[in-house]
Amino acid sequence: MKNPFMSMWLSAANKAAGMGRAYWSAEARRQQAAFVKGLTKGFGATPTKRATPTRRRK
């Protein structure tokens, strides 16, 4: 027979672990992006701002 209290406790623990894992993986992604941006900034590999196209008048 299943224990409903154990099931609820494990469900809540799994939910909390999932939220923590999502937070830390997002933080790792942000740090990696900042690191790559810092590396490529000095070389001019990626433009920081696009030129807006000008419209021609008819």
Give this prediction's pTM: 0.53
- pLDDT score, position 48: 60
- pLDDT per residue as tens digits for the range 33-52: 999 888 877 665 555 666 77
Residue ranges of domains in the chain? 11-41
Query: Which run of H or of E encompasses 34?
Result: helix 4-41
What separation, in Å, do the N-terminal and C-terminal C-alpha atoms of the chain show? 80
- pLDDT per residue as tens digits for the range 15-30: 999 999 999 999 999 9
Question: pLDDT band for position 57 (50/70/90)?
Answer: confident
For 21-57, give one letter per residue: b (16+ CB within 10 A) or e.
eeeeeeeeeeeeeeeeeeeeeeeeeeeeeeeeeeeee
Q: How far apart are CA 15 and CA 39, in angstroms?
A: 36
Tokens of 37: 């941006």
